[in-house]
Amino acid sequence: MAVPELHRYTLDNGLRVVLAPDASAPVVGVSVHYDVGFRSEPEGRTGFAHLFEHLMFQGSESLEKLAHFRHVQGAGGTFNGSTHPDYTDYFEVLPSAALERALFLEADRMRAPKLTEENLANQIDVVKEEIRLNVLNRPYGGFPWILLPPVLYSTFPNAHNGYGDFTDLEQASLEDCAAFFDTYYAPANAVLTIAGDFTVEQARELIEKHFGDVPARPKPQRPSFAEPPPSGEVRGTETDPHAPLPALAIGYRMPDPINELDGYLAHLVLAALLTDGDGARLQQRLVHREPIVNDINAGAGLFGPFEARDPDTFVITAIHSPEVTPERILAAVDAELDELAANPPGEQELAKVTARWTSGLHSEHDRLVSRTLALGSFELLYGDASLVYGLADRIAGVAATDVAAAAKALRPDSRAVLVIQPSQEGSQ
């Protein structure tokens, strides 16, 4: 498949633009990525980045509350937003004739969202209910993405709960919101992406029309969130009142996703070798041969791959019966990693995994919304949206020795172990 044409440029106010024309279907995807996520929220304001994402849908300079929803759905489109460790995104997918509508909507709230006491109070309640549904009242709700970071990491940006503490959320003020918007929602701190059925000339005219007069503000200086990996094994224990069985999460530090991308990709392939499919090594050993776990998974990134800058986390999770100790699972995992480190995977095993990965990437980027969001996030995180189109080849190029090196790097003397214990009620 030929690499699609990309056009990248920057407006006078600092807004970076990525254009990816594709006339194969009469639809367009529009996204705006802001360089702010969980890790940038101020101490004492856990969950603020996610709360602010909600506020961005509550009206803007020219539009009343819920108008954004009505204008997109009225054009036959869909929309959403999401908060990640290092960015927040907003997007629409619409018929191509409605491109200008999407650009107007995004520019209008980039210029000035409607921040009111009523909207703030309403959205605090909405976020609290979301936390109740997704975390507090669900088995394994915070496992592992909320509960593992404070075991593996020691600094507030890396360790805190990005979904938010109720007390912190309730104390958020309009002054906090205004300061957050002024600091992080500047055009120079954002990337606008358009993919799909449009002409570059048409898009450039519409972007200048709607975004060109958004006032420039300084781009915030992004601090380093680096911290050293654990100098030994660190452990934590949590009780889950809804969990029917005990669970275990093992967290390791990964290579820098941005500056050590090939090492990072080797960890992606390693995760697939360990748990992706019935033939994977940990699946075979721990689910089928021994068996000592009900379910086991490995993954690069707490939220999935390519979601964060450094530091990022390699995670192995298992759900197991009460009769099985964490030590027994850890010993089996260590044995498999040692085996891979000493004896790199064979050509056929590796080819099966990399083929599955590359096929999945091609399939994902066939979906317009996924392609639009990937281009925007890679432009923001890596400074190069075109990396999206080279990922499949780079993963296919991961060698057996690279996977062995990744396995060797996951050391028992530098990891976090989180134990989830069911309450008596949950385990009955």
Which of 176, 211, 246 is the last residue in one of the domains? 211
**Is 334 part of any domain?**
yes
Residues 277, 131 share a domain: no
Residues 193, 93 share a domain: yes
Which of 151, 178, 211 is the last residue in one of the domains? 211
**Is 80 part of any domain?**
yes
How much is the average pLDDT of 99-114? Answer: 96
Residues 48, 175 share a domain: yes
How much is the average pLDDT of 371-390? Answer: 96
**Is 65 part of any domain?**
yes
**Is 23 part of any domain?**
yes
pLDDT value, residue 426: 45
Indicate the number of domains in the chain.
Answer: 2
400-409 vs 261-275: helix axis angle to the nearest 10? 90
**Is 110 part of any domain?**
yes
**Is 49 part of any domain?**
yes
- What the block records as the tokens of 373 is 């969001």
State the Rg of the chain over Cα.
23
Residues 354, 248 share a domain: yes
**Is 228 part of any domain?**
no
The answer to whether 172 touches 44, Cβ cutoff 8 Å, is no
pLDDT band at residue 425 under the 50/70/90 scheme: low
How much is the average pLDDT of 150-167? Answer: 96
The answer to whether 365 touches 374, Cβ cutoff 8 Å, is yes
- Residues 347/348/350/354 CA torsion (nearest 10 deg): 120
**Is 381 part of any domain?**
yes
Residues 205, 240 share a domain: no
β-pair partners for 32: 90, 192
Residues 205, 237 share a domain: no
Residues 296, 153 share a domain: no
Instruction: Report the relative pairing of strands 233-240 and 190-196 from DSSP bridges.
Output: unpaired
Residues 151, 241 share a domain: no
pLDDT value, residue 1: 46
Q: List, edge to edge, every strand of the sheet that includes 16-21.
A: 7-10, 16-21, 190-196, 27-34, 88-95, 78-83
pLDDT(363) > 90: no
pLDDT, averaged across the chain: 95
311/267 Cα distance (integer angstroms) = 14
37/89 Cα distance (integer angstroms) = 9
Residues 179, 240 share a domain: no
The answer to whether 65 touches 59, Cβ cutoff 8 Å, is yes
Residues 376, 271 share a domain: yes
The answer to whether 307 touches 378, Cβ cutoff 8 Å, is no
Helix (H) or strand (E) holding 338: helix 326-342
pLDDT value, residue 200: 97
Residues 117, 48 share a domain: yes
Residues 266, 205 share a domain: no
End-to-end Cα spacing for the chain = 54
- What is the domain range of residue 62? 7-211
At residue 193's C-alpha, the angle toward residues 189 and 194, to 5°, is 155
pLDDT(364) > 90: no
* Phi, psi for residue 316 in degrees, rounded to 5: -120, 125
Query: 320: domain CATH number?
Result: 3.30.830.10
pLDDT band at residue 427 under the 50/70/90 scheme: very low
The answer to whether 91 touches 372, Cβ cutoff 8 Å, is yes
